[in-house]
Amino acid sequence: MKEDTEMNVKTGAEHRASLRDGRDIRIEGRRVADVTEDPAFRGAVASGCALYDAQSAPEAVERLTYEVPGLGGRRANRAWQAPRSYAELVTRREALEEWAEGHVGFIGRSPDHVASCLVGMEMDPAPFEAHDLKRAGALRDYVAFARAKDLFLTYVIINPQADRSKQASQQSNPDLALHIVDEDHEGITVRGGKMLATSSVMANEIFVSTIQPMAPGDERHAVCFAIPVATRGLRLLSRKSYEAAAGHPFDAPLASRFDENDAVAYFDEVKVPWERVFATRDLRIMQAMWHETPAHVLQNYQCQIRLLVKMRFLAGIARRTAEINGTIGMPPVRDTLGQLAAEVGMVEGLLRGMEAKGRMHNGFFVPDRTLLYSAQVLTQQLYPRFVDTLRELAGGGLIMLPSSAADYGDAQIAHDIAATQCSSVAGPMERVKFFKLAWDAVGSEFASRHVQYEKFYAGAQFVTRGHSFRTFDWTRSSAAVDRILGETPEPVPATMPIAAE
């Protein structure tokens, strides 16, 4: 059984080997030689590989993967499965939920995110076909290729911030945002930047497009393609590595493992062959690919699955905080925990509601988009509040901590730590270990980046509220208003007597 599994499903070892490909990652003034070994990235890479080890474990392979038709028994992660019924959507969600539990929701751009996006595009090729049949064929073949290889993909679909009051083509630096600079019989050549290539350091390939609205004049910026991260001319300009700064895993148990990284992707005269180009110079397809196919819904539904796992974990941190500090019996603390529990329930309820209210689209069963956008808007606001509540519950315990694991190497300090880290339910080591974890979840630089991530990964609030406004069933609301207005009697206005001449 194990041998079969190893042959038929992508494993962590396979993924690790695939990342030793000469990719160009820059950090701290240097070029990274091997991302799998580099102190800035190796913990995150190990977590990325662990995802594939999890799916290839004999006891999990059936749940987390499915047999891809026509590939002689080869399996791929369930994220690549396009559900044809409510039951298949739920089975897929259960797999994604189980997968996210490995990183308790802290790898935002885990491989199931962009796989969900591409499956959504594949579900309805009509917008791509209306753009160009050859490009639609290239996308179809690419999705089949990525699925067969169970690739880890990430995407960049936002132009770098500069002057947000101007279009991409109007920025003072014409090379700021990625655009087409040349085109020949082999393909296109692109130059410019994109933000923010989360997880790109440990992904196999990068999908490139734009989701921001475009206007006439932006045609050269209207381009969609996918290339291996190790493509010549593509440089990943990494932000600071929280993993590198984490020190001993005891001090930063999350940052040391799950710092998925974010990078500016700079495309320096990158040549993209036609078989990997999915759209060019057409403003209409740049919006249609997200909103006329189920792509935007499926990719963000995956985000809510992951977020639910993270919220459950954070609720666990909240409760443990109260237990360790002896506040769990206090009515206001129980009240706060009850509020947090209700909020986790709201996320789960919205998720299940999206499934229950799902509908058939072109032969596939897709989650309800109105409830998806409700969830996006509400969880963007919820996450920072939730984290703040955890900080409120914890008080100075998050800070009253040894400077690092190295303190335990000194007998006097170790003695003093044991004397001052007390709890009725946990020993000193357990208390310190827990509060180090709690700080990494809600207070550290890593945690702060997560607040920014949950607020912005799907666009700023005006964007997500715009989706909510656009997709809500206003007709039904308006009809209710009209019905009550219609049932409300109106007074008959008295008429003014006609004045005598």
Ligand X SMILES: Cc1cc2nc3c(=O)[nH]c(=O)nc-3n(C[C@H](O)[C@H](O)[C@H](O)COP(=O)(O)OP(=O)(O)OC[C@H]3O[C@@H](n4cnc5c(N)ncnc54)[C@H](O)[C@@H]3O)c2cc1C
Q: Which residues bind ligand X (CB under 6 A)?
A: 109, 154-158, 161, 164, 195-198, 262, 449, 452-453, 456-457, 459-460, 462
Least distance CB 258 / ligand X (angstroms): 13
Q: Cα–Cα distance between 434 and 442 in angstroms, integer?
A: 12
Smallest distance from the beta carbon of 462 to ligand X, in angstroms? 4
**Closer to ligand X by Cβ: residue 91 or 169:** 169
Residue among 40 and 432 whose Cβ is closer to ligand X: 40
Q: Least separation, in Å, of the C-beta of 478 and ligand X?
A: 26
Residue pair 225/270 in contact (Cβ under 8 Å)? The answer is no
Q: How far is 262 from 196, CA to CA, in rounded Å?
A: 6
Q: Which segments of 104-262 are extended strands (E)?
A: 153-156, 179-183, 187-194, 205-208, 223-228, 234-238
Tokens of residue 309, six digits: 């796992």
Least distance to ligand X, CB of residue 262, Å: 5
Instruction: Closer to ligand X by CB, 9 or 255: give it.
Output: 255
Supply the minimum distance, in Å, between the C-beta of residue 268 and ligand X: 19
Work out whether the CA dihedral 221, 225, 230, 233 comes out positive or negative: negative
Q: How far is residue 130 from each of residues 39, 86, 292, 413, measured CA to CA in Å?
A: 47, 29, 12, 70
Q: For ligand X, which is the closer residue by CB, 138 or 458? A: 458
Pick between residue 177 and residue 333 the one whose CB is nearest to ligand X.
177
What is the Cα–Cα distance from 7 to 105, expressed in whole angstroms? 28
Q: How far apart are CA 285 and CA 222, in angstroms?
A: 9
CA distance 69 to 144: 11
Nearest distance, CB of residue 153 and ligand X, angstroms: 11
Shortest CB 45 distance to ligand X, Å = 17
- Select 196 or 324, whichever has its Cβ closest to ligand X: 196
User: Please, what is the minimum distance in Å from the beta carbon of residue 450 to ligand X?
Assistant: 8
Give the residue with the Cβ less far from ligand X, 196 or 351. Answer: 196
Is the backbone peptide bond immediately before 372 cis, with ω within 30 degrees of 0? no
Strands 263-273, 187-194: pairing kind: antiparallel
Burial of 451 (0-12, 13-18, 19+ CB in 10 A): middle
Minimum Å gap between C-beta 457 and ligand X is 5
DSSP state string for 452-473: HHHHHTT--HHHHHHHHHHHS-
Alpha helices in 41-164 (DSSP H): 42-56, 61-64, 86-101, 111-123, 126-131, 133-149
Which residue number, 128 or 453, has a Cβ lying nearer to ligand X? 453
DSSP annotation of 21: S
Give whichever of 91 and 167 is closer to ligand X, judged by the CB atom.
167
